[in-house]
Structure formats: C-alpha cells, structure tokens
Structure 1
Amino acid sequence: MAFGKGHHLHLIDGSAFIFRAYHALPPLTRKSDGLPVGAVAGFCNMLYRYIEANTGSDAPTHAAVIFDHSGKTFRNDLYPAYKANRPPAPEDLRPQFPLTRDATRAFNVSCIEIEGFEADDIIATLAHQARDAGGNATIISSDKDLMQLIGGGVEMLDPMKNKRIDREGVEEKFGVGPERVVDVQALAGDSVDNVPGAPGIGIKTAALLINEYGDLDTLLARANEIKQPKRRESLVNNADLIRVSRDLVQLDCNMTLDFSLDSLEVQEPDTDALLAFLSEMEFRTIVKRVAERFKVTPPIVEDAPTATPSKAAEPDMPPFDVDKYERVSTMAALERWIAAIYERGYVAVDTETTGLDAMQVDLVGISLCVEAGTACYIPVAHTMGEDDLFGGSNLVDGQLSLNMVLGALRPVLEDETILKIGQNMKYDAKIFARNGIRVAPYDDTMLLSYALNAGLHNHGMDALSERYLDHTPIPTKDLLGTGKSAITFDKVDLDKAVKYAAEDADVTLRLWQIFKPKLHTEQVTTVYETLERPLSPVLVDMEMAGIKVDRDVLSRMSNAFAQKMAGLEAEIHELAGGAFNVGSPKQLGEILFDQMGLEGGKKGKTGAYATGADILEDLASEGHDLPARVLDWRQLSKLKSTYTDALQTFIHPDTGRVHTSYIQTGAVTGRLASSDPNLQNIPIRSDEGRRIREAFVADRGKKLVSLDYSQIELRILAHVARIDSLKQAFRDGLDIHAMTASEMFGVPIEGMDPMVRRQAKAINFGVIYGISGFGLARNLRIPRKEAQGFIDRYFERFPGIKEYMDETVAFAKDHKYVATLFGRKIHTPEIAAKGPQAGFAKRAAINAPIQGTAADIIRRAMIRMPNAIRDLPATMLLQVHDELIFEVDEDACDHVIEVVKDVMENASDPAVKLDVPIEVDAGVGDNWAEAH
C-alpha cells in the first residue's frame, strides 16, 4: 500500500544519536583488536530502546535513520566558509561512523545518506513528501535547524528529553513561528556552522525585527527606517550577506530522491544478522537482551583476539611512557643512537618543523626510535619568544647545531642497508632533501595501511594509533594551541616537545611492526612493494620540481574575468528588465519565474525558488538567454575566485613555481589527489576554464610536453568484460563512440549524425560509473524513459558488460572487497547496504576495479619514468588523472615523447597482458594549454 493517510513516518537524526552516544559514555574498545566502539555501543542501545518504545497505535509505519555524508555540499558552493570553523571529529570517533551505518542496517532500519546534501535536507524532503501524501512525520532530533519544518502534520521529538516540539515550542525557542525561523536564523547567524548573519544582531533582536516588519525581505527593503543606528547600519551594510545566510539555513525540501517513502516501511529485524553484528562488535549485554527479546539462543562472544592485532596481541610491545623518552643534547648521545641504529638495521624517523608547507618550513628537530618504547628527540632550532632586533634567533640552550646533527645522520639516512620508517614519509623526505640529504630506502606506515585497508578507514597516524595500538597520542593542539594564538613548533617548551615528538616515532615503529607482516597474509605485498612504496620518492622529486606559473597571466586573466562578469551582469540586467543582485538565488528566482513567467519553477518552504545549476541548464536548453548568461556568470565567478586569484597565493617566492602536494591515499581506488593547490580539478570543459592552463608555462629554452592515456578506462572495460567487438574496435583504431552508436542504433559510421555519436559517448563513459537512466537523461537533456531505453539497448548489445557488473557486485558481497588487475584491494564494507546507499555502494564496486586498474597503470609508468629519462633533458612535473606533464629542452621534445610513450603504453607489462592496445596522445607547447 502506497504511503498516505494513516501512515506515520519517523525520521531519526543519526548524527545526533552518534554524538550523544560518544559524549555520554566512557571510551570503549573492542577487546580483540582495540577498535574504538563506545559510540557504536551507545548508538545500538539508543536504536534498540527506540524500537522497543515505539509500539502500539502510535507506532511508525515507516522509519529511516538519516546520516550526513562526509564532504562538501551545495552550501559550500554558496559560501565557501560554511562550517569552516567546525573542528574535525575526534580521532577515535571517525572509525565508528561507518559502523553506525552497519548497525542501522543490522537492525533492519532504512539507512540513508546522500553525497552533496546534509542530513537535514534529506529529512526536510522526506517530511514534506509524507505531509503532501496525507500522512504524518515525526523528526526525532533536537536540532534547532529542523524546527523550520514543523506544522501541517510534521512535528519533532527531542529524544533526550522525551519532549515533543510543536509550534509553541518553536515560538519559545525563536520568538517566531516555524514559517519565520529561517528569517530569524539568517539575521542571527550561527557561529557553529559559520553562517555570517548580521553582525550585532542575536536571536531576540532578530525575532523582534521580523515580528515588526513581517518577513526578512520587507525588513531589508525598509532597513533605512530603523531608528537604532547600529541595527540600521548592520542591516544596510550586510544585506547581501544576510541573504546568503538565508540560503545557507534554508533546508532543501525538494531533493530528487531515487527511492520512495514506501521503501522505508518498518520491518522486523533479521535476528541472525542483528546478533551476528552485535557479536562481531563484542557487545555482550545487548546481545543477551536481543536474544531474550526474540527468544533465541544468544551466540557466544569470544574473548580471544579474532581480528587485527592490537597492543594486547603484541606481547613484545611495552606500554607507552612518554616520560622515558630521551632528549639528545650532546654529540656523544647522538653517536650512541646512531650505533644502535646500525646494530638494529632500521629506525623510525620523524621531523618537527615550523609549519606544513614542506617547501618553505624550517626544520626544528628530529625524532628516532629503534625499539618500541625507546625513542628520542633531537632539538636543533627551538627559540625563546621573538627573534632579536638584529635577526638573531634566540636559540634555547641545550641543543645541538643543525649542521652537526645532519652531518652525523646523513650516512644513516642515505645508507641503503638501513631501512628508514616514517608515517607520511614523503613529507619528511622533502624536509631532508631541502637540507641536502636523500633519504633511502624507506617504508611508510601510511602507505602500508593504505595497501591493507583502503576503503575501511583513514590512514592518519592518530587514527591508526587508536585503532591498532589502543593509544591516543598527545594532541597537537595541546602544544601549539589553536586559532590566532597558535604558536609554531620552534616555540614549544623542550620538555613537552620531547614527549610529543618522540612519541610520534614510537607510534610509527609499532605500527610498522604490525602492518609489515600483514602484507603477506593479506596478499598485498606486491601492491605495496611495486605500486606504493616506489612511487613515493618519485612524487618527492615531482613536488620539489614544481611547475612554473606566470603570475602576470593569472592577474590579466583575473581582470579579464572581472570585466567579462561586469559585461554579463549588464546583459543579464537588460534581459531581466532591470538591475538585481545576480549572485542572489532568491532575486534570480523571482525574475525567472514570477516576472518572466518561465516554467519549471519550484518553491521551497519559504517561497524562494530553487535556482541551482540543473534548473538553469534545463531553462537554457529550452532557448532562454537569461539563465544561460547567469550560468556563464557563475562559472566565471568560480574560475576567478578558485583559480586565477587563489593560484597566485601558491607561487613559491623563491622558485616562482607552484609545488603541489600529492596524496597517495586520497582515493580508495589508487588515484592520486593533490592539495595546496589542487591541480586535479583545473577545469577543461569550457574555453575560459581551459585558459587557466595557459598560466602554467615552461622555463626559458624549454617546452611543456603532455602525454595522456587515450580512453584507458574504456579499454580496461573491454578487457575485463570480455567485449570482443569493443576489443577489435580498439585494435583497429576505430572511433569507439561512433562504433558503439553504429552497434546500438544500426546506423553506418560514415556520415553519422554528431548527436547520435554524442549519445553513445555519454553511455560509454556513463556505464563505467554506473550511470542511471536519470543521470543519463540529465546529461543528454532527453526524457528519462528514452535514456533508460538507451542503457537497456546498450546492455542488450554488449551483454558482457552487464555480466561483469553482476559478477563484480556478487564478488564484493561475498568477499567485502573488489580488486584491480594488479591485485590492489578496495574494501567495500557498505556493499550490503539497503535503501539509497545500496545503489551508491554497487556503483562504486563496479567502477573501482576499472578506475583502480587505470590508476595502477599510470603508477607503474611513473615509477619507471626516472630511469627512462635519466639521461634526457626532461623533468616529470605533474600527474593529473591520466596525464603526465614534463618540462623538456626545446630540441629534445620528439625524442622524449618517443621514450615516454613507450614507457606509458607498456606500463602494464609483464604483470598484466591486456587484450587491447594502450595508446597515448602527446602534445607540446609553451604552456599547458598548448601542450594538452
């Protein structure tokens, strides 16, 4: 029966449950492996109590737990500083987030999170759907931001106080009814979420103003009438900011969801699945309660270690004692440590610096550890307060000189027979390289964890320490502070510095002792030794080389964008019949749908029209000029702020180059990410976006050479899915998109309509990412039914692709991971999810082996490249997705292209023999735009 009158939907704020459980209960770790599970235990108890309590006539007929998806949302596009002040989640809580999703599914309750949207938006949309269908909705949360939804069959229940929140409760909280909560929040702002609001105006004043003037727009229009000067100035001077604030706090009640209310119908728990999960978590008490509730025999929860080794499973590891760490302040003590390193044959190493930019910071000290529990810190540049008037550094007494320490450690750090061990060792390697030391060989515990655990958790040291060592390291903020009062490490007291810095080396060594043997048992030794470990020093060289950026080009481009934006604004105002704030979604919506009467307008609860890119693109495709011009204006605005302005701040003052930092663990599939700046997202789809690459230039007498894999993921798909016609097309060098169109639509390749080829291209690439009929319809701007017909026809013509997808999902469900052709494991813990998350997990599992194999191939090429071009006048500078960029002497470009193409096209050999040829396209230019 479809959801309607008489049905009652419960929407549970999952994040509220998690944080309440985390803060209300003492820390708890799973005995078998030290995994933090305190929040999960509390979450399970709260969910169980909720299920037990909601019976009888008022019981929900439908229910779901809604979670926030990590990452940016559309609000970050509206206001980049949104939630920027929020501290990161506690290290011991992070690994528990996915487990709370598993717990929800174990209780057989719908579990929902959607990328790009906050939980509040999903709750808002579902609540409105329930109300509009004639049913009721209860939001189980105390979040004030959700109070704007109350009314018309929607209520809230504060689960901690067991108190229902109705219209009177909202008026008590905000001084206005639910329909004006957004207006009050827009004025008052929110320091927690970094919503700016109007300076100097709090909740009470905001409510007073809204009650007096009726609504926010009227208030802003009549702000000059306000008698109090401070209030008047705040409103007049910050009107645009207040409108942005309203857009930030206004919940999206009209999300497009790929599931229905009917799919949220309440189900009895699967007792076996629930008890299996609770037993795996080692929750003895709730296991017993659930077993009694369902009248079954409770499973035995084993005490013995059953999973990842922990401190308890490592008898040779002594407990942590930071008071035992040594401060090395004499050469005799340093020589003693060096002798111990040679005797042991390996050493954990860590550096302390004055900041995070490895290309500009100063080295402050070095930590060493050769045995768990035995570590030291060698301070070299700790200072007292500010530098003196003559530029002197006021060094603290009791330190060795930097040159003496580096001179003594150089033979150890460069000795091929001594293994150096680090956490994110690429950073430390750059610090040493800038001081004339080439560290080799080295292991990296971050990369070891990545090879073993990609997809299961993050790989930062604090998280790994808590998960595998049951130990919380000294927080950085305890030494450096936060915000404006934060200090750099060279100002930290020496005694405190010793404990903190030496502990890092101690933790790193212990993690290495756990992870290194597991490579063999988990069968990922080859992945670590041939893909991860040898790539790190290659990235060190690339990052230090950097790429030259012409500041003048960026500046001119920024000015040109500003002028073009001004021209577009004038054009938009003319089309609109008058001036308005182009950056205001509300004003734009009124122009488009009220004044111009265009179709397709959808209002939110406050009456404001949605004007997202998808809506504007639909209007533009119908031939309307104004939304097309607004899209152009928004794109230029983003290009200017994110690239032409921001990139200038990353140019190194000494080298004149941008030195990005690559993140090997940035994606579970093996793809590299980059930061400071992020060069993976330089836009290429628009002419203006492509122009940004013009600022990346070759040095005098050199050229930039770009080599790019051609359709590599489609080639891998043809191989893994065993599609003979696609494989033959690649062998014959055919236009693969035209060939696909010919196969699907029965039209000849010669003289093919470009639109037909475009449709086939969209399907070819869409299938790799598990595109839906809805997604393809939006891409091609065609009806959803027609798009789904294309996909169905595609699978009929290439049945091997559907077979590959089904086989991959089945393998993921059985093994909880998928693998690339080179053996990289990508864990898929959410593959058994139900509801909206199920589709995402399946698409990710299908895509991961293809994208991961492509990532592995370019990794193999990069690892071989230094030897291949060692005697050539060429330097590898950048990797962006499937592209490598080199700086090459002008007269050597052809020879370098020949050598590099050979390496790239044969990178999979001899480990994997593909049934299709790998092809590489090459280009040369004075700048990146010309080369690519």
Structure 2
Amino acid sequence: MPTSKTSKSAPKSAAKPKAAANVDAAPANPAARALKKGDHVFLVDGSGYIFRAYHALPPLTRKSDGLQVNAVLGFCNMLWKLLSEMPADNKPTHLAVIFDKSEKTFRTDFYPEYKAHRPEAPKDLRPQFPLIRDAVRAFEIPCLEQAGYEADDLIATYARLACEAGATTTIVSSDKDLMQLVGDTVVMYDTMKDKRIGRAEVIEKFGVPPEKVIEAQALIGDTSDNVPGVPGIGPKTAAELIGQFGDLETLLARASEIKQAKRRENIIQFAEQARISKRLVTLDQNVPLDVDVAELAVHEPDYKNLIAFLKAMEFSTITRRIAEKTGIDAGKIEPDGKATTGSAAAKLAMSGGDLFGAPPASTPDAPAAPAPTGALTPLSLAAARAEKARTSPIDRTKYETVRALPRLKEWIAKAFDLGLVAVDTETTSLDPMQAHLCGFSLAVAPNEACYVPIGHKEGTASGDLFAPEAKLLPDQIPEAEALAALKPLLESRSVLKIAQNMKYDWLIFAQRGILTESYDDTMLISYVLDAGKGGHGMDDLAKRWLNHDTIHYHHVAGSGKTAVTFDCVPIDKASEYAAEDADVTLRLWYALKARLAAEGVASVYEALERRMPDVLARMERRGISIDKHVLSRLSGDFAQTQARLEDEIKEMAGEPLNPGSPKQVGDILFGKFALPGGTKTKTGQWSTDARTLEELAEQHELPRKILDWRQVSKLRSTYTEALPNYVNQVTQRVHTSYSLAATSTGRLSSSEPNLQNIPIRTEEGRKIRKAFVAAPGMKLVSADYSQIELRLLAEVANVPTLRQAFKDGIDIHAMTASEMFGVPVKDMPGEVRRRAKAINFGIIYGISAFGLANQLGIERSEAGEYIKKYFERFPGIRDYMDETRDFCRIHGYVLTLFGRKCHYPDIKASNPSIRAFNERAAINARLQGSAADIIRRAMMRMEGELASAKLNAQMLLQVHDELIFEVPENEVKDTIPIIKDVMESAPHPAVAMNVPLQVEARAADNWDEAH
C-alpha cells in the first residue's frame, strides 16, 4: 500500500469505526468477522461506475412506464459478475459499493472551486441513482457513503485497513484518481474491459509509479474536477519532471534548474497552485468510518427478494441467470412493488418537475399535463404535455408591442421571476455578421409574448429606400438602451433562454457585446428526438406539434420585386409575426423537452448538442483569411483547363458539344454513339448524372472527359470565383455558417460558403486549400482524426485482428491486404495495398461490386470476389452489418456509440432502390454518427482546455473529421499536444474504447500544407 500522506485539511481521527447510525447499508451481516490474512476485499467505486454503465449501454426503458434503467442494468450485471463469475481464487470475501454523498467535502472547505464546473448529471440518469442503491441493497451488499468525504477517500481507508490486516484489495474502477493506491496488495479492476490495473499499467498511464501519481497529478491538474495544476504541463512533461526531481516540493525548490524557459516560468509562477492541487488529489486514508470493515463480509443474499427486484426492473436475462443458478422458479415470484411506481426514483421520474425542466407551476397559461387517469410515467406525461401544447389555442391579439423602456424592464423582471423566457431576433439579413437588428421578441407563457422594435425605418413596399438613408420610425426604444436592459437577462445563468436556432440569435447578440448563457434550442431538441424523420424548422415543427400554421416571412416582408427587408416592415405586422415566433418557440419547448427524458435521449442532447450553438458561433465569428491572389491564379488555370477539355470533348464528339448541357450530352452519348445503359428522366431527357457517366467511362473516353470538365467547372464557379465575394468588408475574413440539424447522423454541414465539400483527393481541390492562410504572426494548425471510421468499425464490430492492429500502430491497409491476399506486409506492392484500402473504406459505405470494380479498374466479378473474401476473413463485420440492418428494420433507427438515434423510416420501403439506400445509410450511420459525436465532444472541450493552459489558439473551422486552428507562431509547440489530447480522449468517460483514436496535427502557413 502506498504511504501517501493524508490531505492536510482532512480530519486525522483514529481508524476505529463509529457506530453505524444513519448509514445506508445492507441489513446486519450474519457473516461479519474480522479481516484476516488471505482475505480479498473488493471495493466498488459506485459513483464512477454509475456514469460508465449509463454511457456504455444504449438507452433502455422499462416497458411498463418508460423509465430509463440502462445504468441500473449495467450495475446489476457488474454485481452479479463479481459474486458469481469471478474465478475461485479471485472471489471477494468482503465487498462494498461506495458512493459520493454530497458535493460539499473537506476539499471544498479549503478550495471552493473544486468540481465547481462539473455539468449536472443527465436528466434521464438522475432517477436511476436511488434505484441503483436499491439494487445494491437487493444483493445485500453494503451501500456506503459519508458526508464530508468522497467515495475515493472511503476506498483509500478500507484499502489501508485491508493492507494492515494482510488482506488483498481489488478496487473496481478505472478512475485515474484511485491509481495512487495501487501497490503490492492493491490492484484495480475495470469490469467493462475485464482488465486489471497494476503497477505496470499505472506507469504506462502516468509515466510514474503509483507512489508518485499524486506528485504528477499536482502538476497536470484535472479540468473535469477543476484541479488547477500548472498551465502547459501535461502527463508526459509531469512524468519527466517528477522522474528528474523526485517529488513536487523538490521540483518547486529547484525550479530554477529547469532548462525550458516557459516551463520554468510557469512552475515558479504557479507553485502555490500546484501545492493546492496536490492537496486536492491526495486521498484521505484515515476517514473515521461509519461501517467496520468486518461488516463487508460477503454472504448469500435472499435470492427471492433479489429476483423480485429484478423482475420489477424488467431485467429478464439476469433474472433468468440467477433463477437458473439458484434453482428458483422465477415465475412464482411477484415483482417487488416498491421498485415500480412506489420507489423514490420512479416518483422523481414521473413528477414532471426537475426531470423535465418544467417551469414553476404558477406560470400563467402554461400547458400542463391534465390530471392523468392511468399510470403516471415519463412517456404518459410527455404525451400529455404534447397534447396540451397541441390543443392550447394561439391568440395573436394578446401580443404586445413594447415601445417604452420601463415596460421592457417589466417584461425582463417577469422573466427573472419565472426563470425562463423564449427569445427571438428580427434582422435584415440571414448573415448575422452583417445583419442590422430590427427588434427582438420575448415570451414568458403561451399567448404572453411581446415584440420590442428598435430599428424599424420609413420604407415603401417596393423597397426603394436604402437603409442608411431611411429614417427610424418614432416610438421605438433606442437600440443601446434596449440591449443594456436585456443584457443582464441574457447573460444570467439563473434564467433559461429558449430559442429556435439559438446559434443565429447568439451571434446577433454577441456582435453587440452580449454573450448569452444558459439556453435551450428547440431545433436541436427536435433534432435529437427525430433526426431523419422530418424538418426541424419552426414552421414544420409548429404544424407537426402544435397543429398551427405560423405567419410566414413572405406574408409580412413580401416576395420577389415587392420584397422589403424586415426593418421596412410596418411595426404592427412585424410585432404580430415576431411575437408569434417567441410564443411558438416556448410552446415547442413545452411539447418536446419532456420527450428527451421519456425517450432516453436526454444525455445525447446534454452532452452533444446543448453547448454546440455558442461553440460554432464563436468559430463563425472568427472566420478565416483567404489569399485572393492565389484564388485568382487558380481561376485562370481552371479556365485554361476547361477550354482544353472543351476542345478535346468537341473532337471526340465530332461536333460542338456543351459539356454543361445534360440534353446535348445525352443526345451524343445515347443517340449518336448509342452507348448502352441509358435511362430517361421524367422530363424525357437522357440521364447524365455522375453515376451514369462513371459507368459509361468504362466503355468510352468521352464520358470521362465530361466528368473532368464538370469537376473543374464546379471548383471554379463554387470556389475560385465565388470565395472572394464572401470576404467580410469589416473583418476581411470569410465567415462560413454551420448547420447543426441538417443531416441524420449528427454531421455538421456548412454554407455561404460551403467549406465541407472542397475535394481533397484531387490535386485541384488541394490547390484551393492553399488559398486559406494564417494571419501575420500566426500559423494554421490542422488536426485530423486518422481513419476514425475504420477504427470505429473495428470497435463496434469487435474484430480482434483489426482492433489489435490499431493498438499496435500497424498499417491497417497493409495488414488487410496481407490477411486477404496472403502477401507479406514487408515490401508489399503499392497496388496490393491500394486495393485493400479501397475495400476497407468501401465497406464502411456499403460499396457494391460495381463500385469497387470502378474504383480499382477491374472486372465486376473480381471485385465481388474481393468483397466476399473480405467478409470471410473478417466475419464480425458482416455480423455487424446484418445486426445493424435488422435492428433498424425493427426500430426505424440506429444508435451511435453515444446513444444518438439516426432514423431511417424508409428502410422498409417497397421500392428496392430506396430500401437498399436506407440499409446502406443505416449501416454507415452508426460509424459516421459516432465519429460526428466524438468531434463534437472534442469541440465543446477544446476552448476550455486551451484557456486553462493559457494558450491563445482559436478554433476556426470543422470539416468532418478535421479541426483547423489559428495559433500564434510561438505557441504552436505547446498547443498541438493539447489539441491532440483533447481530440483523442474525446469519447471518455462516456465511452471507453478498446481501439485507440489517433490524431495527426501539423502547422503551416496555409491549410493545404498543414493538412
């Protein structure tokens, strides 16, 4: 047992236990006996395991009431494994599950910021907390927690007592904070990975042995627990320093000897911060225990009571296993009534209160669920709330136009009182970087909404007056005064702001010095619930969920030649339109928010969506510089290439041919040349899409030339000619706009300009990236996940050879080629590796024999044999594809590793081509969606990590699996390791992956060189 010191502020009373008063433990243990040499104590880190079980298992709801119970099931399976499936020589003689009791501990007494920024637990996990404690008691295992201490401190104390008695200890956890306890008689055990963590594994993790872990942690810090550490010191550097100087105090005393200037300065400057960090991470091994270690002795539980609990939870598999093991007829045992609607957890889940984030009951006219006549469940409450929202009429006559500052302040005061408000902005442009603010609307309850005009001008229906020349209309609050009054509300963390597409409104206010805090986005709530099942715009949602037709924008601003910008819309019309937007947004929130918990996806919204609007808004606001001269030269080159290809196309066609005309191309290919395989569109023209031309290119050179012309033409029109027009005249940078809810998988898309579709596999596409440049004194850093979808395939399909190859850092394409074709990896011909690479990536996207044949330039039959052989060599991949397809056919959606639902309702379509497309999309969605979730998690953590390290890097772009940063030249060396660490560790702790992620990051003057 390591002899780490007790934290200075922790009480140092004797180890003699106090009487077990007010302890949430199992009944008196008939097997209680003093600990002796040879005993084996198992200490389960209950608090840590709850979250791991919750994130590791997909959402699972109890059929009878819709209560999510995935974490409870994970916990029960773990306990049963420890009691029944451990090898005879490794079974526990003593066992306890230990939880955190409260956030206030002796650590917060001397450092109040400790764990201050930890996010709240997902709302669908909270009601599982008491049920997990009920589960532990059903197994008749001590369920321990003590006020003032963390679970880790109790574990440290029990481990010390076991060590002193000559017993061995297994800590059931993978938490790095407990690794300081590992020693000759203490190991850790990760049940999810079936992995033991001993001295060697700790050294692999920290670079130092267990007895030095707290020294290293004091330097590294921990952002999740708000342990400050020393800025710029990561695990590798900490291990190096502790290895050199021995311990923290010696390091601080001899800091002047450190050669690296920045490292030396940081350690000297933040010495006291490091000492505080050491106190925070050092576990107290002398907690005055409420329960003696003897009481932890394992004994047989009352299996009938245990089965009754498991049946109440509707866990059929583990119930069957325990019944078979004990010879009990489970059919004769009634479910435990206390674990159904009578439990504290169920009452919380069914209350509709904090679980659903509902407003106070006194909110006037708020849609509340009618008194239920049947079972009170999350699903029934969500349905009742949605029905109430649908049937509550919208009365636009009740909306108010606020023209005076005192009245606006009354609305703001009411929002503060209620704790929530729906917010919307009206502007002159869809580009928030250039839009003028015309006004904003607020809603605090259904039909209780207002519009605050601040920028409406005199104008005419024809829009012939330009905004700068038009005069402001009277009776409007000056913009500066209105925003000054609104700012405390928007920046308050105590009031929930609700918006539809919050990213736009966030940017509008940010441009005016207001950074909105604490918000919900109804568009993203809908997206989490129903991605792939319909649109998520306000008009669509209002019709679908409120049965209401909203006032459309063209109803007030006109269309075509009669259209005006919103600042020229009469205030009475603008007020009705804008106030309705806020009212509808609030009603949608009532209707949709409760579904998140009821349908088991609250954690997806909280962990993957809620914070993305301001993350992306800041990126959009920063923009990126482009070199117009590079684009101009490229445009000229592309024009010459187009002209050359047009001449070649004309010569091959034997007559003038416009390659941009589908009709002319179709008439030549299928009419004049009579090439086979032609099909006609509904208009009667020949189809000449890319797929058709790719097929024809196998038979004739002309279709290939036309494809080449189209590619160059698109690059020229979309990028080299268009990009300079997107340069903002104020910032002199390009500001793309990201869409959060445009795909079914969670992938982002961008527009105005679209930077996601610049081809990178062609020389021309890479040339365009050269035009994206760093500002003077800066570098662009491109950080790209390496083969992330292949790694995820190896993970979810559980392919041992692929998993091991990624762990060992083997060239995956060469390994695949070797496995398939029997060719040694060493000196492998490039062509063989290329074929394996095409298959590896093609499998992810459901490539057909035709598609693979086209890529490799081989016969379709040969390509089919390759695919067949691939599945024979890696059968787990075929199983994964079949299981995913079958699951989607049953449920209509697939799940990412993080529980995101990607819906494919047409997977059972009668049309074979539509059905096949949806099957391929569903199979790929689990991988692409998981990759999208991972990079979202990285993006949400990135800025905090960079700020903690006091680095000035700024995240500018996200392009699928790649993040682009602008970094001061003198900070590149310190920044890249942090970027890589955040991206590679992004899945944790939600998902513990067996396959490591790898990020490649480089710095250069332009995007192409950095990639």
**TM-score range with shorter-chain normalisation?**
0.5 to 0.7
Report how far residue 607 of structure 1 moved.
12
Give the equivalent residue in structure 2 for 1:752. Answer: 828
- Report whether the alignment pairs 1:326 with 2:400: yes
Give the equivalent residue in structure 2 for 1:912. Answer: 991
Q: Distance in 2 between matches of 1:777 and 1:514?
A: 50
Report how far residue 731 of structure 1 moved.
1.0
Moved more, 664-673 or 388-397: 388-397
Alignment partner of 2:813 out of 737, 748, 754: 737
- Report whether the alignment pairs 1:874 with 2:986: no
1:659 alignment partner AA: H
Q: Distance in 1 between matches of 2:499 and 2:667?
A: 57
Report how far residue 776 of structure 1 moved.
2.1
Contact 1:347–1:421 under 8 Å retained in 2: yes
2:958 alignment partner AA: Q
Alignment partner of 2:388 out of 314, 324, 330: 314
Q: 1:556 to 1:319 in 2, by over 3 A?
A: same
Moved more, 674-683 or 813-822: 813-822
Contiguous gaps of at least 5 residues in structure 2: 1-373
- Report whether the alignment pairs 1:705 with 2:784: no
Contiguous gaps of at least 5 residues in structure 1: 1-301
Report how far residue 625 of structure 1 moved.
6.0
Give the equivalent residue in structure 1 for 2:618. Answer: 541
Alignment partner of 2:425 out of 351, 356, 362: 351
Give the equivalent residue in structure 2 for 1:514. Answer: 591
Report how far residue 781 of structure 1 moved.
2.9
Q: Distance in 2 between matches of 1:800 and 1:544?
A: 45
Report how far residue 388 of structure 1 moved.
8.1
Contact 2:457–2:467 under 8 Å retained in 1: no
Which residues of 2 match residues 346-425 of structure 1 at below 5 A? 346-385=420-459, 391-425=468-502
Which residues of 2 match residues 44-55 of structure 1 at below 5 A? none
Q: 1:395 to 1:735 in 2, by over 3 A?
A: same
Q: Distance in 1 between matches of 2:968 and 2:532?
A: 42
Give the equivalent residue in structure 1 for 2:791. Answer: 715
Q: 1:586 to 1:542 in 2, by over 3 A?
A: closer
Report how far residue 549 of structure 1 moved.
1.5
Contact 1:388–1:394 under 8 Å retained in 2: no
- Please tell me the root mean square deviation across aligned C-alpha atoms, in Å: 2.8
Q: 1:824 to 1:578 in 2, by over 3 A?
A: closer
Q: Distance in 2 between matches of 1:335 and 1:678?
A: 41
1:516-541, Cα deviation, whole Å (9 max, x unpaired): 22211111111111110012211010
Contact 1:601–1:609 under 8 Å retained in 2: no
1:402 alignment partner AA: E
Give the equivalent residue in structure 1 for 2:885. Answer: 809
Q: 1:407 to 1:604 in 2, by over 3 A?
A: closer
Q: Distance in 1 between matches of 2:395 and 2:679?
A: 61
Report how far residue 823 of structure 1 moved.
1.1
Q: Distance in 2 between matches of 1:619 and 1:575?
A: 15
1:173-208, Cα deviation, whole Å (9 max, x unpaired): xxxxxxxxxxxxxxxxxxxxxxxxxxxxxxxxxxxx
Report how far residue 352 of structure 1 moved.
0.5
- Report whether the alignment pairs 1:336 with 2:336: no
Report how far residue 634 of structure 1 moved.
2.6
Q: 1:749 to 1:445 in 2, by over 3 A?
A: same
Q: Distance in 2 between matches of 1:607 and 1:779?
A: 30
Contact 1:481–1:487 under 8 Å retained in 2: yes
Number of residue pairs the alignment of both structures matches: 628
Contact 2:1004–2:1010 under 8 Å retained in 1: yes
1:121-153, Cα deviation, whole Å (9 max, x unpaired): xxxxxxxxxxxxxxxxxxxxxxxxxxxxxxxxx
Contact 2:818–2:824 under 8 Å retained in 1: yes
Give the equivalent residue in structure 1 for 2:725. Answer: 649
Q: 1:621 to 1:470 in 2, by over 3 A?
A: closer
Report how far residue 314 of structure 1 moved.
1.5
Contact 1:310–1:470 under 8 Å retained in 2: no
Q: 1:763 to 1:436 in 2, by over 3 A?
A: same
Contact 1:368–1:377 under 8 Å retained in 2: yes
- Normalising by structure 1, report the TM-score: 0.64
Contact 1:601–1:610 under 8 Å retained in 2: no
Moved more, 807-816 or 398-407: 807-816
Q: 1:627 to 1:803 in 2, by over 3 A?
A: closer
Q: 1:696 to 1:582 in 2, by over 3 A?
A: same
Alignment partner of 1:899 out of 962, 972, 978: 978
Give the equivalent residue in structure 2 for 1:503. Answer: 580
Which residues of 2 match residues 60-459 of structure 1 at below 5 A? 309=383, 313-314=387-388, 318-385=392-459, 391-459=468-536
Which residues of 2 match residues 602-751 of structure 1 at below 5 A? 613=690, 617=694, 628-751=704-827
1:480-518, Cα deviation, whole Å (9 max, x unpaired): 111122111111111111111001101111111122222
1:307-336, Cα deviation, whole Å (9 max, x unpaired): 974788227984211111011111221121
- Report whether the alignment pairs 1:860 with 2:934: no
Give the equivalent residue in structure 2 for 1:464. Answer: 541
Q: Distance in 2 between matches of 1:665 and 1:651?
A: 25
Contact 1:618–1:781 under 8 Å retained in 2: no
Structure 2 residue matching 1:643: 3-state secondary structure: helix
Give the equivalent residue in structure 1 for 2:637. Answer: 560
Structure 2 residue matching 1:385: 3-state secondary structure: coil
Structure 2 residue matching 1:740: 3-state secondary structure: helix
Give the equivalent residue in structure 2 for 1:767. Answer: 843
Structure 1 residue matching 2:554: 3-state secondary structure: helix
Q: Distance in 1 between matches of 2:468 and 2:667?
A: 60
Report how far residue 778 of structure 1 moved.
2.5
Give the equivalent residue in structure 2 for 1:39. Answer: none
Contact 2:422–2:497 under 8 Å retained in 1: yes
Report how far residue 440 of structure 1 moved.
0.6
Give the equivalent residue in structure 2 for 1:133. Answer: none
1:348-401, Cα deviation, whole Å (9 max, x unpaired): 000000121111010000101111110000000111127989955311122111
Q: Distance in 1 between matches of 2:892 and 2:675?
A: 47
Q: Distance in 2 between matches of 1:397 and 1:681?
A: 47
Q: Distance in 2 between matches of 1:389 and 1:727?
A: 63
1:337 alignment partner AA: W
Moved more, 379-388 or 492-501: 379-388
Q: 1:317 to 1:600 in 2, by over 3 A?
A: closer
2:962 alignment partner AA: E
Contact 1:318–1:373 under 8 Å retained in 2: no
Report how far residue 755 of structure 1 moved.
2.3
Give the equivalent residue in structure 2 for 1:96. Answer: none
- Report whether the alignment pairs 1:784 with 2:863: no
Contact 2:746–2:933 under 8 Å retained in 1: yes
Structure 2 residue matching 1:314: 3-state secondary structure: helix
Q: 1:740 to 1:562 in 2, by over 3 A?
A: same
Q: Distance in 2 between matches of 1:845 and 1:791?
A: 19
Give the equivalent residue in structure 2 for 1:924. Answer: 1003
Report how far residue 610 of structure 1 moved.
6.8
Give the equivalent residue in structure 1 for 2:7. Answer: none
Q: 1:362 to 1:797 in 2, by over 3 A?
A: same
Which residues of 2 match residues 778-857 of structure 1 at below 5 A? 778-834=854-910, 835-857=912-934
Q: Distance in 1 between matches of 2:760 and 2:433?
A: 28
Identity %: 56
Q: 1:742 to 1:560 in 2, by over 3 A?
A: same
1:841 alignment partner AA: N
1:277-296, Cα deviation, whole Å (9 max, x unpaired): xxxxxxxxxxxxxxxxxxxx
Structure 1 residue matching 2:475: 3-state secondary structure: coil
Q: Distance in 1 between matches of 2:535 and 2:650?
A: 48
